[in-house]
């Protein structure tokens, strides 16, 4: 089941980096970090695995970044 919010695969590089850092440096579990950030656990888990494998830079290359308006609309729909 997909959570409603930011469209699938459309996370900023900064969000991905901070989410991974929260798990790897923040000493909290993937489940806890995913809940705090409203991310699917599997998505964050994949990011952490990719980071540990040195392939984190490849994530999200196939998607164009969302505009500020698209992000705001997604947040509004979620609320």
Does residue 32 belong to any structural domain of this protein? yes
- Classify residue 3: in a domain, yes or no: no
> What percent of the chain stands above pLDDT 70?
70
**Helix/strand number for the chain, H first, E second:** 4, 0
Please determine, for residue 4, whether its predicted confidence score (pLDDT) is greater than 60: no
Residue 28: inside a domain:
yes
Residue 71 lies in a domain: yes
16: left (phi over 0), alpha (psi -120 to 50) or beta: alpha
The tens digit of pLDDT for each residue in 25-52 reads: 888 899 999 998 888 899 888 888 888 8
40 is a domain residue: yes
Is 23 contained in some domain?
yes
The Cα 26–Cα 50 span in angstroms is 18
User: What is the extent of the structural domain holding 45?
Assistant: 13-78
Query: What's the total number of domains in the chain?
Result: 1
Helix (H, G, I), strand (E, B) or coil at 21: helix
């Amino acid at each position: 089941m997909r959570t409603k919010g930011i469209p699938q695969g459309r996370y900023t590089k900064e969000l991905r980096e901070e989410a991974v850092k929260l798990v790897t440096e923040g000493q909290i579990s993937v489940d806890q970090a995913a809940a705090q950030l409203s991310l699917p656990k599997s998505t964050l888990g994949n990011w952490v695995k990719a980071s540990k494998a040195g392939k984190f830079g490849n994530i999200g290359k196939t998607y164009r970044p969302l505009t500020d308006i698209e992000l705001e609309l997604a947040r509004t729909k979620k609320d």
